[in-house]
Amino acid sequence: MVQKKINIKNKLLRYFPLILLYFSVLNEFDIDVASLGLFSFNLPFIIIFYWSLRDPDHIGNGLIFISGILNDVTLGYPIGLSSFIYLIIIAFASYLRNITLRPSTYKDSLIFLIAILFANSVNASILSFIFAIEINFFEIIANILFTFLLYFLFARIFNYLKPMSV
């Protein structure tokens, strides 16, 4: 009985990042509190970057690709766009993993900032140039800023959870 409970707990911890990713794309986890105005952040970016960097086998590229498709459907974006953006984030994380010997949250966060700036630029360019969708750039910049700042918090949480979820 106790063993069974431990197994369930381990499985939950093992799949926690994946569950959180799918929950956030289906829920469009942009915390958007009216009274706080522009406060919103992109949780999928944080999850994808962190786990692709620290443990790429934890969430497979294929599953991240599918989560992008679900995000497109939920938000009404052209199919494949979010998947492409998520894969860009993975590319940055993979590159950083290949050139880093000793990972550090602060160094990682700088590459994360570049990655989300680049990914959001590509996203905005595709939406405005190919699909002629008008965009509020100020809102996106605020979103990038909050996503970057909250990376530190989530990285700490994931650092704590990572040894338990093996």
Partner 1 sequence: MASGRDDFIIAVRSAFLKKSNKQQFSLLALIIFSIVLIFLSNLNFVGIKYIKIGVNEATYRLSAIVSYPEKKLNESINFFTEYFHVYKENQNLKDQVNKLNIDRYNYIFLENENKKLKELIGEDQYSVDGIISKVLIDKDGKFLKSIILNRGSKNGIIKGMVVLENDYLVGQIIEVNYTTSRAILVSDLNSNIPVVLEPGSFQSILSGSGKNYGKIKYSKNKLILDENTIVYTSGSGGNFRAGLPIGKINNDIEEFAVEFFSDLSQLSYVKIQSIEGSKE
In the complex, which residues of this chain contact partner 1 (CB under 8 A)? 23, 26-28, 30, 32, 34, 40, 56-57, 60-62, 65, 68-70, 73-81, 83-84, 87-88, 90-91, 94-95, 97-99, 123, 126-127, 130-131, 133-136, 139-140, 143
Q: Which is nearer to partner 1, 69 or 113 (CB)?
A: 69
Closer residue to partner 1 in complex, CB, 146/151? 146
Query: What does the alpha-carbon distance between residue 17 and residue 63 come to, in Å, rounded to a whole number?
Result: 11
With tokens 């360019």, the residue in question is 125
Q: Which is nearer to partner 1, 58 or 155 (CB)?
A: 58
Complex with partner 1: residue 26 or 156, whichever CB lies closer: 26
Other CB atoms within 10 A of residue 96 CB: 20
Q: How far is the CB of 105 from partner 1 (least distance, A)?
A: 20
Can you read off the two tokens belonging to residue 14? 């093992």
Q: How many CB atoms lie within 10 A of CB 158?
A: 22
Smallest gap, in angstroms, from Cβ of residue 142 to partner 1? Answer: 9
CB 39 within 8 A of CB 31: yes
141 vs 164 by CB, closer to partner 1: 141
Minimum distance, C-beta of residue 163 to partner 1, in the bound complex (Å): 19
Q: How far is the CB of 154 from partner 1 (least distance, A)?
A: 18
Q: How far is the CB of 49 from partner 1 (least distance, A)?
A: 13
**CB count, 10 Å around CB of 5?**
9
- Considering only CA atoms, give the Rg of the chain: 16
The DSSP letter of residue 35 is G
In whole angstroms, what is the distance from residue 108 CA to residue 123 CA? 22
